[in-house]
Structure 1
Amino acid sequence: MKLGYHLGYWSSGPPADALETIKTAESLGFDSVWTAEGYGSDAFTPLAWWGASTERIKLGTNIVQMSARTPTATAMSALTLDHLSGGRFVLGLGASGPQVVEGWYGQPYPKPLARTREYVEIVRKVVAREEPVTIDGQFFQLPLRGGTGLGKPLKSTVHPLRKEIPIYLAAEGPKNVALSAEICDGWLPLFFSPKTDGFYRAALEEGFARPGARHTIDDFEVAASVPVIVHDDVEAAAGFIKPSLALYIGGMGAKEVNFHHDVFARMGYEDVADKVQELYLAGRKAEATAAIPTSLVEDTALIGPAAKIREELARWESTVVTTLLLRGDAGTLRSVAEVLS
């Protein structure tokens, strides 16, 4: 498996020593570096700023939220970054959830899969630049239906460096995972576990089998964000990860719609996920964190002494995952790369 570095999105400000860490990742032979956005920092700007100081490493978004921009605006940024990076850009897209989509972007959330299909189609048409872009879809119309009547089909003034820019889709549910296999070039899973490999492999195969699918399992990328902590004390290592898990399981989404909660329920931790969500939404965050068993962390992360991680890595290498996306500072990347090499 390849290694990638995931900066994530900012908290109250830019992450410290980001450029040093990115340069370290490139020097260690990491394949890619990724940025994210929620409702604060955007994904494109940091990637352009810090990516300008690199030469080889791929530059990806994990993820750009589709509701934040029209498909043509996203395609413009992708075209621009691909040129500036010499063809190293990877566009990672995601639908996010109704709390952010409707609460922050003021956009409708229903039918995210159908909306994603139209979105990706438009981005590909813009990048290919074969003809003026037109679509009369359910969610997007170019030119706009019912406007002034003066809109005209256009194509980008910028000629693409490549006729196709790789598009990866962030997905957690089986229908969305299948969609990634059908219309995209890669899948960006969150909270992947080797024990759920069969479930996701089946969803991917369903997408590959659809008419017009672009890939097979043999040439499809799966870049999974996987916490890796080298530490002599497994419980201490798990303790670094549990607060983040409590946030995602308990608080990232409404009680009725939380895709992260559902991932762990499918993994066999439904009772745990329900308890964590109940405690977290009640404001009892410390108790929610304490309710997460270390076994759950070990199912979705590589933690503990170096020998333990090396032994467990074999389980990951037999899955659909092609790239492990790591987080941490430069020192963390060095120690992890040494263990995983």
Structure 2
Amino acid sequence: MPHPAHHRFGMTLPVPAPLGEHPAIARKLTEAGYTDIWSIEVDGLDGFTPLALAATGAPDAHLGTAIVSPFTRGPALLAMTAASLAELAPGRFHLGLGAASRPIVHNWNGAAYDKPYQRVRDTVRFLRAALAGERVAERYETFEIQGFRLTRPPQSPPPIYLAALREGMLCLAGREADGAILNWLSADDVAKVAPYVHEGGPGKEIVCRMFVCPTADADAARTAFRRMVTFYLNVPGYAAYQRWLGRADQLQPMWDAWARGDRRGAMAAVPDALIDDLLVHGTPEQCRAQIRRYVDNGVTVPVVMLVDAGDGADPVAQALSLAPGRRIS
């Protein structure tokens, strides 16, 4: 693992602990060597509140969203929220944006999931201007802004990273954003994906949220992750991504069972080899060695997303066991 004095290394919050404990948890993580704390926003907590709490407990940590969607917040609200975090953590907040998916945007938030590439692109362009303190009056392809200006623009506008799967969004992340956020890929896949981002110029960050289950019980880890595979990789965008990465033959039996309405059969059809590609699991030492492979292949900010094996393990203790300052045997 790269030494934390020279490289960034992140953990995903929240973990399954009361939200009021998260400032203390963030402090423990940074004391153990984590440099970054990143949030998620799906169906639990929002993407900004855990970071605000983490900032109070770990005042030197980098903070980032991975990701929030421009479909579920209006452009001005997104700019105001980003400005708030940038003021709270000057020079250390990183805004991760992503189109999310139709279930999240349309089914759960009642918004139209139209032109995701264009909506993300337009939002980046708006945010660049708004966070710089400019007055924005612009007709973009997917929305129009009529004279908005932040009254408290951040002294240090946050870098913007884009969640990206295939070529179009990866290239957009390199061309108009400051880097990309990756997930649902193997360490070997990074070598295929990263060059699209770097086409946009030097110095682009490659943030990777990787699923990690630190347990020596391989069967328990695979069982827990198999449920996630069947839920996520049947979403059309993620399915297309896995086809692009070359996993169609491995996943087709699962997709066929899911299309028949056979949820149990779909889970059973996910091969162990695919799980072992997409899930980091094993002892903490084995997990750290696997994470190192992602870094060796081009990830600049590895971010751990803990997967619960159902064994009652304390997630904070698991996070600390993976701390980048620990020696890999």
TM-score range, shorter chain: 0.7 to 0.9
- Matched residue type, 2:188: K
SS of the aligned residue for 2:322 comes to helix
Tell me which residue corresponds to 2:320.
334
The code of the aligned residue for 1:65 comes to S
Q: Which amino acid aligns with 2:79?
A: A
Pick closer, same or farther for the CA change 1:310–1:117 going to 2, 3 Å. closer
Task: Say if 1:49 and 1:176 are closer, same or farther in 2 by CA, change over 3 A.
Answer: same
> Does structure 1 residue 161 correspond to structure 2 residue 155?
yes
Per-residue CA shift, 1:96-130, capped at 9, x if unaligned?
1233323333333232222221111111111111x
Residue 131 of structure 2 corresponds to residue 138 of structure 1: no
| Aligned twin of 1:23 | 27
- Deviation sequence 1:182-213 (CA, Å, 0-9, x none): 1111211111212223431332244x1xxxxx
- Pick one of 239, 251, 261 that aligns with 1:261: 239
Aligned partner (choices 188, 192, 197) of residue 185 of structure 2: 192
Which sits farther off after the overlay, 170-179 or 225-234? 225-234
1:118-133 pair list within 5 angstroms: 118-129=122-133, 131-133=134-136
TM-score (norm 2): 0.84
The amino acid across from 1:302 in the alignment is V
Q: Deviations over 1:105-164 (max 9, x none)?
A: 3333232222221111111111111x3212122222221xxxxxxxxx2422114221x2
Alpha carbons 2:14, 2:22 under 8 Å: kept: no
> Is the aligned partner of 1:4 residue 2:10?
yes
Partner residue in 1 for 2:97: 93
Cα shift at 1:224:
0.9
Amino acid at match of 2:9: L
CA separation of 1:8 and 1:279: change in aligned 2, threshold 3 A: farther
- Following superposition, the deviation at residue 228 of structure 1 comes to 2.6
Three-state SS of the structure 2 residue aligned to 1:324 is strand
Aligned residue pairs, count: 313
Tell me which residue corresponds to 2:311.
Answer: none
Give the equivalent residue in structure 2 for 1:272: 250
Once residues 9 and 74 of structure 1 are traced to their aligned partners in structure 2, the CA distance between those partners, rounded to angstroms, is 24
Opposite residue 176 of structure 2, the aligned amino acid is I
1:288 corresponds in structure 2 to: 266
Cα 1:62–1:9 change in 2 (3 A) is farther
Give the Cα separation in 1 of the matches to 2:233 and 2:327.
29
Question: Which secondary structure state, in structure 1, belongs to the residue aligned with residue 136 of structure 2?
Answer: coil
Q: Specify the alignment match of 1:115 in structure 2.
A: 119
Give the letter aligned to residue 23 of structure 1. R
TM-score, length basis structure 1: 0.82
Change (3 A) 1:29 1:262: same
Letter of the structure 2 residue corresponding to residue 202 of structure 1: P
- Residues 71 and 272 of structure 1, relative CA distance in 2, 3 Å threshold: same
Tell me if the contact between 1:235 and 1:294 (Cα under 8 Å) persists in the aligned partners. Answer: no
Q: CA deviation at 1:25?
A: 1.5
Tell me the percent identity: 27
Gaps of 5+ in 2: 3-7, 307-314
Once the 2 structures are TM-superposed, how far is the Cα of residue 305 of structure 1 from its aligned partner?
A: 3.8
SS in 1 for 2:281: strand
Q: Distance in 2 between matches of 1:55 and 1:234?
A: 37
* Alpha-carbon distance, 1:237 to partner: 3.0
- Contact persistence 2:218–2:281 (CA under 8 A): yes
Q: Could you tell me which runs of 5 or more consecutive residues in structure 1 were left unpaired when the two chains were aligned.
A: 144-152, 209-214
Could you say what secondary structure the match of 1:334 adopts? helix
Distance in 2 of aligned mates of 1:26 and 1:15: 17
**Residues 38, 227 of structure 1: CA spacing in aligned structure 2 closer, same or farther, 3 A cutoff?**
closer
Change (3 A) 1:8 1:170: farther
RMSD of aligned Cα (Å)? 2.7
| CA distances 1:38-76 after superposition (whole Å, capped 9, x unpaired) | 255321223223432221111211111111112221111
Task: Give, in whole Å, the separation in 1 of the partners of 2:13 and 2:295.
Answer: 23
Q: 1:311 to 1:34 in 2, by over 3 A?
A: closer
Q: 1:203 aligns with which of 196, 200, 209?
A: 196
How far apart, in 2, do the equivalents of 1:111 and 1:85 lie?
A: 32
SS where residue 168 of structure 1 aligns? strand
Query: Within 2, Cα distance between the matches of 1:14 and 1:277?
Result: 37
Q: 1:177 to 1:8 in 2, by over 3 A?
A: farther
